[in-house]
Structure 1
Amino acid sequence: MITAEGIRLERLADGHAAAVLAFERANREWFARSVPDRGDAYFTATGFAERHRAILAEQADGACHFHLVLDGAGRIVGRVNLVDAVDGSAELGYRVGESAAGRGVARAAVRLVCELASGSYGLTALTAVTTLDNAASRAVLARTGFTGTGAVDLGGRPGLAYRRVLRAGVSTATATGQ
């Protein structure tokens, strides 16, 4: 667990499945406004359980690092992930629920996961993409040290790619249980 700015990150675990599914269901429409919907099968208990097991296996292999963003009361308010961790780099992905949007949660979560990436996971660079119409996500990336690297197509929607170079071994937040 790593904490700062009123939130904490907790590495995804098997026991989180039901709470994560409830969070995803509660925010499905909110998320679909800025990213493609995951489809009905994802939101069924069986479909979600299968996906949850699959991503935990990827995490166990070290290919990905999945985290919950929790508020001070321990409620899930977002998720932040590092996927395809290869050759010192990974792709950053994050989402914040509607109830926590606009309160700096995404910015704080991205800062924390960047510290984990360089400190605990030994990564030296992160990439990210977002659509041009997602001004909030572009602002989060800019405020957390990412630099635009060019245009991308995100499922027929224009977007931007970003990159951040990390200083290896640097972590200023308090991390436990990693």
Structure 2
Amino acid sequence: MPRRGSGNQIRTDDSVRLELLSSGHARQLERFELNNRDFFASRIGDRGDDYFAHFDERLAELVEENRVGTSLLGVLVDPREEVVARVNITDIHQSDSTEIGSRVAKSVQGRGIARTGVRLALELAAAHGVRVVHARVAADNPASRRVLKVCGFEATGPAPSPDGSSRAFTGYVIRLGAETEMPRGEAKDHS
């Protein structure tokens, strides 16, 4: 079981921390997004130049979502204090639209970072009273589908594509209990 850390973090046994997004992550997060922009664009879709032109304003909006409790927007930070992934659970106040999404740096693919991030984010969501979380994954992304399966999600069928994507997506759902501790599965992910 992860140990609760100080402030907005949960520590894991493997030294990757899930931290709720704060303004203190601004430069690390911007560097993460810029360094992986082409990689993410090829797999998820490009955020566009406007995202980076208004990065600080958008970050402030996301931090506010965490503050008021409508979302749990997090970053995974490695021992070098670098952001290596993002894991977001949005709309936690609306059970029919609560959704998890993640993105992992290209440099740490295949090391279980996605699985760790999803697992920790779901544990945090359960602690905040969230009982149902939806996800959607591109049909041509088997690694992310494996991550969801290992973490206990069940496929629900075709799902709408995110804005800006023409790819086919599959929906997933998981039901959380009050004392949710996610499976630790040994399957390797490559996302």
TM-score of the aligned structures, taking structure 2 as reference length: 0.83
Q: Does the aligned pair in 2 maintain the 1:3–1:112 contact within 8 Å?
A: no
1:80 aligns with 2:79: no
Which deviations, in whole Å up to 9, do the C-alpha atoms of 1:119-176 show, x marking residues without a partner?
1x1111111001101111111111100000011231331110000000124458xxxx
Whether the aligned pair in 1 keeps the contact of 2:21 and 2:62 (CA below 8 Å) is no
The match for 2:138 among 131, 135, 146 is 131
For residue 176 of structure 1, what is the aligned residue in structure 2? none
The question of 1:38 aligning with 2:50 is answered no
The higher-RCO structure (CA 8 Å, 6+ apart) is 1
- 2:27 aligned with 1:25: no
Q: Which residue of 1 aligns with 2:106?
A: 98
Structure 2: runs of 5+ lacking an equivalent: 1-8, 183-191
* 2:170 corresponds to 1:160: yes
Who is 2:58 aligned against? 51
Please give the root-mean-square deviation of Cα atoms over the aligned residues, in Å.
1.5
Consecutive unaligned residues in structure 1, runs of 5 or more: 173-178
Counterpart AA for 1:64 = S
Partner of 2:60: helix, strand, or coil? helix
Aligned partner (choices 115, 123, 148) of residue 123 of structure 2: 115
Q: Is the 8 A contact 1:122 1:169 kept in 2?
A: no
Pick the aligned partner of 2:22 from 6, 13, 18.
13
1:142 aligns with 2:152: no
Q: Identify the residue that residue 175 of structure 1 maps to in structure 2.
A: none
Amino acid at match of 1:167: G
- Say whether the 8 Å CA contact 1:127–1:161 is kept in structure 2: yes
What number of residue pairs does the alignment pair up? Answer: 169
Runs of 4+ in 1 over 2 A off after TM superposition: 86-89, 169-172
Q: 1:38 to 1:77 in 2, by over 3 A?
A: same
